[in-house]
Each structure stands twice: as C-alpha cells, then as structure tokens.
C-alpha cells in the first residue's frame, strides 16, 4: 500500500532542536514508524523549517503541495494520503473532487489545538475540511470530542494515540547515579546550588503557555510542599516572565528553577534524575491539551506523572500504572499525591518500574503504526473495517521538501 505523508512541521535536516514541540516530534517519529512498516511504501511530502520560519513558509508549501498531490493522483502513484495535522489536512477541501475520481482516500491526524484554534476564519474552515476527508484520526478521546462538536461525522472518527520511540533515551540507569549526573552537569555551569541528593525532584517539560498550568503550580502547590521538594521546568514561551515573577513572589528561588530550552542529552538526564513528572494543566478556552507526548517520554524513563485529569491527558495516564490523575486546579490534591512519595524510596522505585513498563507496552511506535495501517487499509479497501479500540466507541523514499532557504518543491 502506497501512502503519501504530508507534513508542514519537520525540523531542518540535522537540526532537530530548531523546530521542536509535541506536534513536530509526533510527525517525524510517526513518519519513521510508517516508513519502516512492512505493509507500506511511504512517500513524504514535507516542509523542513526552523520554528521561526514555519509560519512564513507554510502558505507557499501548501500551494505547492496542492499541485504535487494532484499530480501524483493523476499518475496513479499513491493509494492514500495522510496529513500530519489539520493545517495540512485543510488541503482536502481543494483536493476532494480530484482524488475522489481516482478513489484515493484522505486521512488527517488531529492533535487538539489544530482543531480548536479560536480564529473565526479557521473555525469556518474546520467543518469543511472534515467533510472533505475520508477519516479523521484524533490523538485522544478529548480531541475526538472536539472534532465531533465541530461537525465531524462519527463514521469518519478513529482515535489513535501518539507513540514514543523506545530507543530514544537508552537504557535506564541507577536513580541515585542519574541524580548525581544531573547535578554535576548543572554545577559545572556554575549555576546556583541545586536540589539536595536526598530531596524530591519534580520536573515539567513544555512550552510556557497558560494552559500548561506552570504558574498556577508555582503559586498554589509549591508553597504547600516541604523545603526539600524542588521543581525544575524545561522550556520557554510567552509566559516565562510570569513564571519568573511567580518564583520571586513566593520566595522559591532556591527551589524552583527555569532551565530554558535544553538539549536532548540534558533532557534525558532531567528525566532520569528526577523523581516525578508534573503536568498541572488548567482549562483555557480554545487552547486544549490534545495529548501530552512529554508524559510518554517521562514514563519511558521511569518517571511517573502527577497530572491534571483534563482533556487529552486522560488518554495518556492510567491511574496507578504510569502516574496519577488529580482534579485540575486542586492544589491540595496535587500536594497530597506528591507527598505520597516524599521520603518513600520504595514507593518511587515501584512506581518508576510500572511507569516504564506501561509506556513500553502500550505506546511503542511499532504498535501505534499497526493501528494507523489498519485504519488506512480499511479506507483503501472499504470491505475491511478496523477492529479494536481505535474508533471512539518496506519501501523508503527521499522526501519532497521545501527548505527555508528555497521557494520551490523538489524531489531529492
């Protein structure tokens, strides 16, 4: 089965940190998983760009992609088209008539904010895009509900979660040794004193935006926790200055640290050297948490998550298996869950083992790719219907790319 994989959010070749985020990570890793699947031949049509240039280059990329997809359909070189987000999925409106003539189905992966973005012209386009597509594959039940709310036919809906690369962070290391490695690296940069070796280290990773709840957590939960509970945040964003002010207001300079954007190696050390991952999201109109890939990364490293039971997070965390779900905005419940592990090495070790096993067993990209193939195959061969819990209720090729240094599409 020959599929065309269309994405506008790949980082430049050899520069993975130049365009990083949940959607970007999912697009690149899903492509790799599909490309390696025995049942598929995958041809990618992608935009490679830094984060800064993506918004500028997306429009010309979509224009060129529209032409390229029509051309491939007429040539009969593809059996189906998979769009990596609703942004590229919007091309289905202009492609519907042409691809229908050639019996080529189109599917899109819906992440969350690419469905709920509160921009009237975009929201006008969303239901038209749904109508033009043959299948919509939201990454969580919450994203699926957002799609249904905007007019998607339930018959087109199949929920397929995100996955994680099991080889990405290497083999687990001793927790104490991992903590020392993390502290040694930061101390070598002459940063202020870090968390004590025997303290409880919480961490979060993500863009500093309101829905992540980082400011709320600093203001409301950290003051409830003992002085040897520390909180480190990796990432940057428009709310960074507010986080710095919250740290200052609560006199938490010695316990809460903003690490900024960090390398893949430091991210590994942060996951391995921390005790608990925190996902303290709060509801924000038009800006939902569609899934939360960072929780899979943390779980893969043996880091259980304490998370708000909100939106797509509930599809990632199974309470008692890879973490705990608590009520969003309930500071006392967050503090109690965290204190359950305070000075309890035995509980942390048990939770760490369960989180790693649960993540590996349930969210490997190999298993997720099988679910995508099942749904796509049912579109190409309508007599084959997908089974299992997807619905609510070897060929390689070089990518077609539009780099930020160029203004044209080329097959490399």
Encode pLDDT of 284-329 as tens digits: 988 899 999 999 999 999 999 999 999 999 999 999 999 999 999 9
30-51: burial string, b at 16+ Cβ within 10 Å, e else: bbebbbebeebbbbbbbbbbee
Q: Given this model, what pLDDT does residue 400 score?
A: 40
Q: How many residues does the chain have?
A: 412
Helix axes 51-75, 92-101, angle to 10 degrees: 20
Q: Given this model, what pLDDT does residue 391 score?
A: 57
> What is the rounded CA–CA span in Å between residue 138 and residue 201?
33
The rounded Cα 282 to chain-centroid distance in angstroms is 17
Query: Are 234 and 270 a contacting pair, CB within 8 Å?
Result: yes
Encode pLDDT of 265-279 as tens digits: 999 999 999 999 999
Beta-strand runs (E) in 248-406: 256-260, 276-279, 305-308, 323-326, 400-403
Residues in the chain, pLDDT under 70:
14-22, 187-197, 384-412
Fold matches, 2-163+364-411 and 175-362: yes
What letter would DSSP give residue 263?
A: -
Domain ranges of the chain: 2-163+364-411, 175-362
**pTM score:** 0.85
Calculate the dihedral angle through the C-alpha atoms of 128, 290, 51, 241, rounding to the nearest 10 degrees.
130
> What is the rounded CA–CA span in Å between residue 61 and residue 47?
7
- Sign of the alpha-carbon torsion through 188, 191, 197, 200: negative
Q: Given this model, what pLDDT does residue 399 score?
A: 39
175-362 has which CATH code? Answer: 3.40.50.2000
Query: Are 228 and 196 a contacting pair, CB within 8 Å?
Result: yes
Strands 80-83 and 2-10: parallel
Q: Given this model, what pLDDT does residue 50 score?
A: 79
- The candidate with the shortest Cα–Cα distance to 70, out of 4, 149, 144, 9, is 4
Q: Given this model, what pLDDT does residue 102 score?
A: 96
2-163+364-411 has which CATH code? Answer: 3.40.50.2000
First to last CA, the chain: 22
Calculate the dihedral angle through the C-alpha atoms of 183, 188, 191, 196, rounding to the nearest 10 degrees.
20
């Amino acid at each position: 089965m020959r599929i065309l994989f269309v994405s506008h959010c790949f980082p430049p070749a050899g520069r993975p940190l130049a365009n990083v985020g949940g959607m970007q990570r999912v697009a690149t890793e899903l492509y790799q998983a599909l490309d390696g699947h025995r049942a598929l031949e995958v041809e990618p049509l992608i935009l490679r760009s830094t984060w800064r240039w993506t918004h500028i280059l997306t429009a010309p990329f979509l224009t060129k992609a529209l032409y390229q997809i029509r051309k491939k359909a007429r040539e009969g070189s593809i059996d189906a088209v998979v769009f990596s987000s609703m942004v590229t999925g919007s091309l289905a409106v202009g492609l519907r008539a042409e691809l229908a003539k050639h019996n080529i189905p189109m599917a899109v992966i819906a992440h969350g904010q690419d469905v709920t973005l509160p921009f009237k012209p975009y929201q006008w386009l969303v239901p038209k895009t749904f109508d033009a597509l043959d299948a919509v594959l939201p990454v969580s039940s919450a994203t699926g509900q957002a799609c249904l709310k905007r007019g998607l036919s339930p018959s087109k809906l199949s929920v397929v979660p995100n996955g994680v690369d099991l080889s990405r962070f290497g083999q687990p290391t001793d927790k104490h040794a991992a903590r020392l490695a993390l502290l040694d690296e930061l101390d070598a940069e002459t940063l202020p004193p870090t968390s004590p070796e025997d303290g409880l280290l919480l961490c979060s990773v993500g863009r500093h935006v309101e829905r992540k709840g980082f400011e709320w957590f600093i203001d409301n939960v950290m003051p409830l926790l003992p002085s040897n509970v520390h909180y480190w945040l990796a990432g940057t964003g428009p709310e960074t200055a507010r986080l710095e002010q919250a740290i200052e207001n609560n006199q938490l300079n010695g316990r809460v640290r903003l690490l900024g954007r960090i390398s893949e190696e430091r991210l590994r050390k942060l996951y391995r050297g921390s005790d608990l991952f925190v996902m303290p999201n709060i509801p924000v109109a038009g800006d939902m948490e569609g899934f939360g890939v960072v929780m899979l990364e943390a779980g893969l490293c043996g880091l259980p998550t304490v998370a708000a039971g909100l939106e797509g997070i509930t599809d990632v965390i199974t309470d008692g298996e890879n973490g705990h779900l608590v009520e969003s905005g309930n500071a006392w419940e967050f503090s109690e869950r965290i204190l359950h592990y305070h000075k309890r090495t035995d509980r942390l070790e048990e939770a760490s083992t369960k989180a790693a096993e649960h993540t590996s067993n349930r969210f490997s990209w190999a298993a997720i790719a099988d679910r995508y193939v099942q749904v796509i195959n049912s579109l190409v061969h309508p007599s084959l219907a997908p089974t299992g819990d997807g619905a609510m209720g070897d060929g390689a090729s070089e990518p077609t790319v539009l780099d930020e240094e160029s203004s044209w599409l080329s097959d490399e």
